[in-house]
Amino acid sequence: MALIVQKYGGSSLATLDRIQEVARRVSQRKKEGNDLVVVVSAMGNTTNDLLKLAQQITDQPPARELDMLLSSGERISMALLAMALHQIDVPSISFTGSQSGIVTDTSHTHAKILEIRADRIKEQLTLEKVVIVAGFQGVSTQKEVTTLGRGGSDVTAVALAVALSAKQCEFYKDVDGIYTKDPKQHIDAQKMEHCDYDRVLTLAHAGAKILHSEAVTLAKKHLMPLYIASSFTQHQGTLVEQHH
Ligand code: ASP
Ligand code: MG
């Protein structure tokens, strides 16, 4: 059975309707006969809202406590998605970054993943469960909760895909793929069905908000195929892999 890692971004999970739609999509993919690990971001603007709460107390929140606060956004979406899956009879279990065995260095708010001890995830996959993982977070070598920096759940997804030798890592967003130019600014922008990692990195460095560039670099290093599509439509997305 092929293992797929899917990642759903904040706009794809912004409301309960959206979370239920994601549950249906996950269910569909599972029924096609795949093992699934689903990485989630926080709902909508949750992370920004949490940051604003902290800033109302102090303009210099302790980094450890900021990580405790910001990591809670992804816990909300992972638990709600697990409940939505339960509701449509898809066995699933949610894990925090720490429970997923995502071990990072000790740099609060911009930690780097050092290693993934995926035993619990693997065990749940053998029990036929969809495993939902809170993106953007891990546990440090000092046993503290850490976050990976803004947009870090893309990195979580690729790191998990590599650690679990997934067939591909899929990203579901509010745009339906990668375009030759920013589709919100250029009407002649064209969606690419295929492209290579360097093209994505070039677009990202030019300011396009496609994927976290660290995630793309990691995928390139391990030749992990990436698929970018919309969670709002059934349009075909963009497959990113090395040019042959
Ligand atoms: N929720 C976090 C952020 O907004 C992580 C992510 O979405 O990737 O930065
Ligand atoms: Mg987000």
Residue range 116-136, pLDDT digits in tens: 999 999 999 999 999 999 999
Burial of 233: CB neighbours in 10 Å, binned 0-12, 13-18, 19+ = exposed
DSSP 173: E
The atom of ligand 1 lying closest to the CA of 41 is 7
Are 113 and 106 in contact by the 8 Å Cβ rule? The answer is no
Closest CA to 100 of 74, 126, 139, 146: 139
The atom of ligand 1 lying closest to the CA of 150 is 9
Ranges of residues in the chain with a pLDDT under 50 are none
pLDDT at 204: 86
| Cβ(110) – ligand 1 distance below 6 Å | no
Closest CA to 211 of 191, 226, 232: 226
Q: Report the CATH number of the 3-176+209-236 domain.
A: 3.40.1160.10
Closest CA to 135 of 148, 118, 145: 148
| Cβ(237) – ligand 1 distance below 6 Å | no
Choosing from 51, 74, 153 the residue with most ligand 1 atoms within 8 A of its CB, the one to mutate for a pocket test is 153
Domain ranges of the chain: 3-176+209-236
Q: Token pair for residue 185?
A: 């600014």
Residue with tokens 């940051």: 51
Q: Is the dihedral of CA 133, 62, 43, 174 positive or negative?
A: negative
Q: Token pair for residue 148?
A: 């990976």
DSSP 11: G
For residue 82, give every residue at least 6 positions away whose Cβ sits within 8 Å of its Cβ, in sequence order, or none: 92, 93, 94, 132
| Cβ(239) – ligand 1 distance below 6 Å | no
Which residues lie at CB < 5 A from ion ligand 2?
A: 10, 41
Torsion angle in degrees (nearest 10) through CA of 19, 213, 139, 42: -20
Give the residue whose CA is nearest to atom 5 of ligand 1. Answer: 151
DSSP helix/strand/coil, 234 = coil
For 56, list phi and psi in degrees, rounded to 5: -75, -20
The whole-angstrom distance between residue 122's C-alpha and the CA centroid of its chain comes to 18
| Cβ(44) – ligand 1 distance below 6 Å | no
Interatomic CA distance for residues 116 and 244, integer angstroms:
30
Query: Which ligand is in closest contact with the Cα of 7?
Result: 1
Are 207 and 181 in contact by the 8 Å Cβ rule? The answer is no
Of all residues in the chain, what percent carry a pLDDT higher than 90? 92
Work out the angle at residue 189's Cα, subtended by the Cα atoms of residues 39 and 153, and round it to the nearest 5 degrees: 15
pLDDT at 38: 98
